[in-house]
A and B are shown apart, each in its own frame.
Chain A
Amino acid sequence: MARSSQRTANLTLEQLCSAKEVLVSTGSGGVGKTTTAAAIGAVAAARLGAKVLVLTVDPAKRLATALGLEEFGNVETRVPDEAFANVEGGPRGELWVAMLDTKQSWDDLIARHAPDDATRDAILANSIYKNLSGKFVQSHDYVAMERLYEIHTSGRYDLVVVDTPPTRNAIDFLEAPDRMADFFSSRLLRWLIAPYRSRVVSFASKPFYSVADRILGTQFLEDIAEFFMLFQTMYDGFVERARAVTTLLGGPQTSFVVVSTLEVAPSREAEFFLELLSDRGYHVGALVLNKVLPDLLLSTDGADAARVLSTDAEAVAARLAPELQVDGGAVDPAHLAHVLAEIGSNFSNFAVVARREAEQRAELSRTPELCLTVPWFDDDIHSVDGLLRLGEVLWR
């Protein structure tokens, strides 16, 4: 399928990748966010003499396999140069990949921040911690940003392209560091721990504990209290890191890539997110629009021809039939009329959607410096080659 790209400003993805150290790919579910992040990373590694890491969250299985992620997961791994066989002269830089394992990353984080081994082990064994680190959706956001920060400050890479977790709201991960800091500094925390500190075993005198106990059971409340007491020992470290992560996201070395399709719901979310990012002073480097219908559907000549075909198929078929041959034989005018009517209404149908998409695109592309469009691909991408083909569409 023909692939083309369009840009609305002079900036290119090449410039963006050269100027920034962190690119954050974001958008709602099912719009191709992960693939786009990987494609940007792959083409940047191929074209720039840079060491590039793609930090991904939940890649499709076949893409993960192609990148060697299934085996290595949380460990940063280099994609071998052989995968770039179709790049003339080989890649100029290096492509590294890692898949975020939330649970493992949390455990590492605890190991780093815990004041001593006993606290570390107690936290790792706490049932609330286990659930928080494994299932708490917001904890994915937090740990993704935390991991990004750790990698960035290590100075191991020239460019880190990070995919964001599939969240209910695309902004959740942005607020995750702050929320985590608020959470640990809250009065609620002290308040929940208080009865355990004063060794008051019975909650009967306190209505909240009484109700909570009736609903949730004593064991659960005790687990919560233990969790908080243990976590408090790491409070300063967490708050400090959360601030640093927030600073990195808003800093000049970071840019956001908003990914969407032009379908109604994803567009709306992208619009909201673009606005929010610029309101809060984040740098929005690019908008990538996937599955965009081709411009030929906007042609007025095409629309005119389609109208004639839909309304006058039989007359056109009668005129055209003598000119046509199928397998050396004549063409049945009635069949031909049906084909003509079908292709006429097909054009008109797709034109309706294409016009809506064009409006949507104009609306969305006002904010970002760079608006890139990617046509419908015949299939999903599961190879470095495929990523590079997509990357090249975006790069030019």
Chain B
Amino acid sequence: MAAGPVPLLERRLLFVTGKGGVGKTSVASAIALLAAQRGLRTLVCEVDAKGNLADFFGVGPLKFQPTEVREHLFAMAMDTEESLKEYLRLQLKVPILAKIGPLASTFDFVANAAPGVKEILTVGKLTYEVRERNYDLVVVDASASGHVVGQLASPVAIGELVNAGLVRSQTDWMIELLTDPATTGVVLATAPEEMPVTETLELIGRLQDETEIDVAAVVVNRVLPELFGRDEEAIFDSLRAEGASAALSAAVGTGADEVLDAADLAVGLRRSRAVHLARLRDGLPAGLPVLYLPYLFTRSHGVRATSLIAASLGEELGY
């Protein structure tokens, strides 16, 4: 730790995870977009096929085969069956897949029942892209916090079940890439709310206990702006006094009350969230970078939102 954590965009493989609903995909797309804007040849991959990632770049459905969505930026959707086929073709030199027979129907069962098969095909594909140096940076919109530990630990776990065969021989180099902090990092996306903060702290504990993979950063999404400082708060309160609110209405119209109520709402929300932010900061390991992204008051959540978040992220990283 003496040298400090490896800067986010200097790593080669980033797994972005977090509790459902915190904006995991928007954080992953923003990191990828920022990296591409800075000239890194970047691959962003959606692991849970919800099809949201495409929306963040305003493109059609993503496939296993990466598509170039921006200069330097490629996007793909993980498909473990495709990953298996690619693996068989590249690694095992299995010549004609037709000979394997009903691969697809068998695959679904085997992949689901056997722990780690689906996970290793996912992690295997991603680490392969890193090993082959096909990209400068691979950003993964990974599984939600409940499943990500299993995903990241799969190369180790698979050895216990599949104690023979070629799969086993492949896991060593994967583990090497995954456990090297200069190469791989986990980015924990969270929001300043009770459950997301609790889950983030638990996940850091699990990652440290059950894997040897480095946590690169915590990204706190949707941080509400502070409307005014402490001394100005007294001024705001004085606007609520009887004479003052009448004068305000006279100056700006009858909507003054709604404006004051909206300010109360914003102050209240920010205050209740400040508690969780403080709890997060207190609970995190020392030296772990925490990046804050603002709550976006935008209409849509497409390309526009992604570039705004990427810009905020760039500021946070000091670019």
Question: A residues near B, CB below 8 A?
Answer: 1, 28-31, 60-61, 127-128, 131-132, 135-138, 166, 168-169, 183, 186, 188, 191-192, 207-208, 211-220, 224, 227, 261, 263-266, 269, 293-294, 296-297, 299-306, 308-309, 316, 319-320, 323-327, 331, 335-336, 338-339, 342-344, 346-347, 349-353, 355-356, 376, 378-380
Contact = CB atoms under 8 A, between A and B. Distances in A.
A352 B102 contact: no
Nearest to A60: B195
A352 B298 CA distance: 7
Contact of A299 (B99, B150, B239, B255): B255
A360 to B, nearest CB: 11
B243 to A, nearest CB: 6
B238 interface: yes
Contacts of B115: 131, 135
B259 interface: yes
Nearest to A227: B113
B144 A29 contact: yes
Given A168-B50, A217-B164, A319-B247, A347 B114 contact: no
A320 B247 contact: yes
B261 A224 contact: no
B231 A261 contact: no
Contacts of A316: 248, 251-252
Contacts of A30: 19-22, 195-196
Contacts of B259: 302, 305-306, 309, 343-344, 346-347
B268 A1 contact: yes
B256 to A, nearest CB: 5
B232 A339 contact: yes
B59 to A, nearest CB: 16
B235 A347 contact: no
7 contacts: A188-B102, A215-B162, A217-B167, A220-B161, A265-B25, A296-B262, A305-B259
B145 to A, nearest CB: 10
Contacts of A213: 165
A216 B167 contact: yes
Among A212, A299, A346, A378, the one with the most B-chain Cβ atoms within 10 Å of its Cβ is A346
Interface in B135-173: 144, 146-147, 150, 161-168
A305 B195 contact: no
B94 A166 contact: no
A216 B297 contact: no
B47 to A, nearest CB: 10
B301 interface: yes
Interface in B38-57: 48-50, 52
Given A29-B144, A320-B244, A326-B238, A217 B162 contact: yes
**Nearest 10 interchain pairs by C-beta:** A29-B20, A30-B21, A302-B258, A301-B255, A305-B255, A217-B164, A349-B297, A302-B255, A217-B165, A30-B20
Contacts of B19: 29-30
B300 to A, nearest CB: 8
Nearest to B49: A168
A28 B300 CA distance: 20
B220 to A, nearest CB: 15
B114 A131 contact: yes
A220 B266 CA distance: 57
A135 B143 CA distance: 14
B227 interface: yes
Interface string B102-115: 11011001101111
Given A168-B50, A261-B21, 12 more contacts: A29-B19, A135-B115, A137-B112, A208-B103, A211-B94, A213-B165, A214-B166, A265-B21, A269-B50, A296-B258, A301-B255, A335-B235
A261 B94 CA distance: 48
A349 B263 CA distance: 11
A214 B25 CA distance: 36
A136 to B, nearest CB: 5
B234 interface: yes
Contacts of B193: 380
Nearest to B237: A326
Range, interface on chain B: 35 or more
Given A131-B115, A208-B101, A343-B227, A301 B297 contact: no
Given A30-B22, A299-B258, A302-B255, A338 B234 contact: no
A357 to B, nearest CB: 11
B272 interface: yes
A128 B116 CA distance: 12
A131 B301 CA distance: 39
Given A28-B20, A296-B258, A320-B244, A128 B114 contact: yes
Contacts of B235: 324, 326, 331, 335-336, 339
B146 A166 contact: yes
A217 B21 contact: no
Interface in B1-60: 19-22, 25, 48-50, 52
B232 A335 contact: yes
A364 B234 CA distance: 41
B100 interface: yes
B180 interface: no
A347 B120 CA distance: 49
B286 interface: no
Contacts of B269: 376
B260 A303 contact: no
Contacts of A186: 105
B21 A378 contact: no
Given A183-B109, A303-B255, A323-B243, A219 B163 contact: yes
Interface centre among A28, A212, A215, A380 (most CB of B within 10 A): A215
A220 B251 contact: no
A300 B256 CA distance: 11
B162 A323 contact: no
Contacts of B287: none
A343 B263 contact: yes
Contacts of B194: 379-380
Contacts of A297: 258, 262
B255 A304 contact: yes
